[in-house]
Structure 1
């Protein structure tokens, strides 16, 4: 068969595409259904149905020696930055590097970073998302099909995945089609029926043009593989001998990034330590940190308020430096999110709004010492807090341990 040579520049800055040599008849028809060697997927549910699908001819490719068709970025980091994917955790995420073998299947074609999980997904050397050459293709139905994967090394954490997909436009493609991206510890021969540590299932899709999808997800365990498969919910798709009922999805431009936790401020919290003779002792608990704060600003807790009026020390209370007498009454507000406490004025205003003139946020040194102090018990919420060991926001005026002045 005569050979045609194509060459085209990549659209990304400073990238070039090596000369391509493929058959002029390459159409990448959606008929990839080569079987995996017998027994290699014996554990897969639905394997008998998948095996019943007939072998179909692959898209024609010129009789070229491996290596004649390449599309490689001279600088992978530059390529990722150019397409807006800094610190991509995936190799060859835009499928810009590949080597065509004797078929569009890989293998025999080679796509660095990517490998088949189930049966024989394909790589296309034609323009994909953004106009750059190279994208992946896989068919699937409710219980079987093709799957591909990439090995990863993801500690437990939060990640963001973006990819471009489209339903492959073919008359044998029932709509809508769907896809699954799952992060696992080891690939499974049955990705259709096995969820991962994180499982990202698309909505039903009918788009014939490329569209990007973005997911933010959290894993609580480390994972070492990202596995991708196509599927659909067409009840007739599992009918034995009906390859025309499988759906096809095209995939390109994978970008996987770690999401750094948002820096948060902290505030100091206290508890009710003792109730005696109409008085209450408020102060530190085992986790209190009066130097940098101990509780994230996202916590929703009551706030300590005080009104000092020169009250005498009650009978039975003997103040000292660490258990001073405040000369006032304390109360607890309704729970507030710490992030609203952006200044002492705001905190004091909350106390005044709930309890009246003269009330302000309770402070570390209000007992003329530190760490704890006594005050008049004037509010039933304090008794409930004592019984439940509820924490509440308290202020300190000489340390960066408040939400408004702690260091994120």
Structure 2
């Protein structure tokens, strides 16, 4: 089992998948943009140097890269500031909250997997029960969230009264 080196909170600019079976030949690549020590969260974004394509992929699946895995425990969003900008959707959409842990595995070629279930099993083998592949639309957002607005208990209360927080991503 690989030791988990990520943090309880995982902030994602784009909800992601490091290695994906999206087209059979290509997977989406992401990069860690920053880490906020005070909140113990990571900002993960599309690897824009490679181009970012969550639907048809941007990296050959024979390339060995780590898999980004997640374990969701419904952690409330901490009071982080929105560092994203509006595009087709409001900035909150692009700075969604994953509600759990993230971690990366040792490098592996995506072509060694036949299904997303195989990748999920790889995550579980690396980190333990409940760990699965992180995906592009994993994060959640609430319109207007920023800093302390819709953070901590407000995040949980809003989600409980509105059924669920909105999915984010690209």
Bin the TM-score by the shorter chain.
0.5 to 0.7
Of 21, 31, 34, the residue aligned with 1:271 is 31
Separation (CA, whole Å) in 1 of partners of 2:117 and 2:27: 15
User: Does 1:341 find its partner at 2:93?
Assistant: no
Question: CA shift at 1:342, angstroms?
Answer: 1.7
Of 274, 281, 288, the residue aligned with 2:43 is 281
* Residues 18-46 of structure 1, C-alpha deviations (whole Å, 9 max, x = no match): xxxxxxxxxxxxxxxxxxxxxxxxxxxxx
* Residues 45-101 of structure 1, C-alpha deviations (whole Å, 9 max, x = no match): xxxxxxxxxxxxxxxxxxxxxxxxxxxxxxxxxxxxxxxxxxxxxxxxxxxxxxxxx
- Structure 2, unmatched stretches of 5+, are 1-23, 83-90, 142-170
Aligned partner of residue 312 in structure 1, secondary structure: coil
Separation (CA, whole Å) in 1 of partners of 2:26 and 2:73: 30
Of 105, 126, 130, the residue aligned with 1:354 is 126
Of 55, 63, 68, the residue aligned with 1:291 is 55
Matches within 5 A, 1:17-96: none
Separation (CA, whole Å) in 1 of partners of 2:32 and 2:136: 14
Separation (CA, whole Å) in 1 of partners of 2:111 and 2:140: 28
Aligned partner of residue 330 in structure 1, secondary structure: strand
Aligned partner of residue 99 in structure 2, secondary structure: strand
The structure with higher relative contact order (CA 8 Å, sep 6+) is: 2
Aligned partner of residue 93 in structure 2, secondary structure: coil
Question: CA shift at 1:343, angstroms?
Answer: 0.6
Aligned partner of residue 102 in structure 2, secondary structure: strand
Stretches of 4+ aligned residues off by more than 6 angstroms: none
Question: CA shift at 1:368, angstroms?
Answer: 2.6
Of 43, 58, 67, the residue aligned with 1:303 is 67
Question: CA shift at 1:317, angstroms?
Answer: 4.3
* Residues 268-304 of structure 1, C-alpha deviations (whole Å, 9 max, x = no match): 1111122113101112121221221111111000000
Aligned partner of residue 313 in structure 1, secondary structure: coil
Separation (CA, whole Å) in 2 of partners of 1:303 and 1:320: 25
Higher Rg? 1
Separation (CA, whole Å) in 1 of partners of 2:69 and 2:60: 20
**TM-score, L = length of structure 1:** 0.25
Greater strand fraction, Structure 1 or Structure 2: 1
Aligned partner of residue 125 in structure 2, secondary structure: helix
